Chains A and B, each alone.
Chain A
Amino acid sequence: MKLSEARPGQRLCVIGFGRLGRAQLKLMDLGIVPGVEIKLLSRFLLGGPLLLQVGRTHVAIGRRIADGILVEEVSGKD
Chain B
Amino acid sequence: MQVPTKIALVGQPNVGKSVIMNNLTGVGAVVSNYAGTTVEITRGYASIAGKIVEVIDTPGTYTLHSDTEEQRVTQRILLEEDIDLIINVIDCVNLARSLYLTFQLLDFGIPMIVAANQADRAAKLGIIVDASRLQEELGVPVVLMVATANEGTEELRKLIRYGGAVGRPIRFSEMLESTISRLEGYIRQTTYSGGHSSRTLAIHLLEHDTVDEGILSSHPELEKLIERLQTEMGADDPLCPNCFRGCAFCPARGSDHPVFLTCIERTNQAREVASRVTRNTHRDRVDFMERLEEVLDHPVAGILAMAFLAWISFRLITLFLGYAEDVVEWAMAPIGSGIVRIVQALLPEGALRSMLMDSLPEGLVIPFSVVFPAMLAVYVFIALLEDTGLLARFAVALDRLAALFGLPGQSVIPVLLGFGCRAPAVMATRILPDRRSRFIATALIGVTVPCAATLGILAGVVVQFQANAFAIGATIIVAFVLIGLGLSLLTAGEDTPLVLEVPPLRLPVLRNVIAKTAFRMKSFFLHVLPLLVVVNVALRALLYTNVLARLGALDPVTVRFFGVSGPAFAGVLITVVQRYLAPMVLLNLPLTAREATIASSMVALSFPCLPVTILSIKELGLSDTAKVFGIALLAPVIAALVLNLIL
Contacts and interface: CB of A to CB of B under 8 A. Distances in A.
Contacts of B252: 19
Interface string A45-58: 11111010011111
Contacts of A34: 255, 264
A61 B497 contact: yes
A47 B299 CA distance: 11
B501 A30 contact: yes
Interface in A43-74: 43-49, 51, 54-65
A63 B504 CA distance: 22
A6 interface: no
A49 B249 contact: no
A59 B500 contact: yes
B386 interface: no
Contacts of A19: 251-252
Interface in B432-455: none
Interface string A27-44: 111110111100001111
Contacts of A16: 255
A20 interface: yes
Contact of B499 (A21, A33, A62): A62
A16 B254 CA distance: 9
A57 B63 CA distance: 16
A55 B502 contact: no
Interface residues of B, number: 48
B397 interface: yes
Contact of A25 (B65, B299, B397, B498): B65
B101 to A, nearest CB: 9
A51 B399 CA distance: 12
A29 B94 contact: no
A64 to B, nearest CB: 5
Interface in B382-423: 392, 395-397, 399-400, 409
A29 B255 contact: no
A20 to B, nearest CB: 7
Contact of A33 (B63, B267, B303, B496): B267
Contacts of A43: 299
A61 B498 contact: yes
A34 B392 CA distance: 26
B278 to A, nearest CB: 11
A35 B392 CA distance: 27
B97 interface: yes
B344 interface: no
A47 B94 contact: no
A63 B399 CA distance: 11
A55 B270 CA distance: 12
Nearest to A16: B255
B251 A31 contact: no
Contact of A57 (B100, B267, B501): B501
A30 B409 CA distance: 18
Q: How large is the interface on A (under 10, 10 to 19, 20 to 34, 35 or more residues)?
A: 35 or more
B94 A49 contact: no
B631 interface: no
B475 to A, nearest CB: 28
B511 to A, nearest CB: 24
B409 A28 contact: no
B125 interface: yes
A1 interface: no
A66 B304 CA distance: 25
A21 B251 contact: yes
B97 A55 contact: yes
A51 to B, nearest CB: 5
B255 A30 contact: no
Interface in B356-389: none
B213 interface: no
A77 interface: no
A72 B510 CA distance: 44
A23 B96 contact: no
Contacts of B125: 56
Contacts of A22: 67, 249, 251
Interface in B486-518: 496-504
Given A28-B267, A59-B502, A60-B502, A49 B96 contact: no
A16 B264 CA distance: 11
B500 A48 contact: no
B476 to A, nearest CB: 25
Contacts of A65: 497-499
Interface in B231-267: 249-255, 259-260, 263-264, 267
Interface string A9-23: 000000011011111
A60 B399 contact: yes
A35 B303 CA distance: 32
Contacts of B249: 21-22, 25
Contacts of A17: 254-255
B93 A56 contact: yes
B502 A25 contact: no
19 contacts: A22-B251, A24-B260, A25-B63, A27-B499, A31-B94, A33-B267, A35-B268, A44-B399, A45-B300, A48-B299, A55-B97, A56-B93, A58-B501, A60-B395, A60-B396, A60-B501, A61-B497, A61-B500, A65-B498
Given A25-B259, A42-B299, A60-B501, 17 more contacts: A19-B251, A23-B497, A28-B267, A30-B62, A31-B267, A33-B260, A44-B299, A48-B396, A48-B397, A56-B94, A57-B501, A58-B293, A58-B502, A59-B501, A59-B502, A60-B392, A60-B499
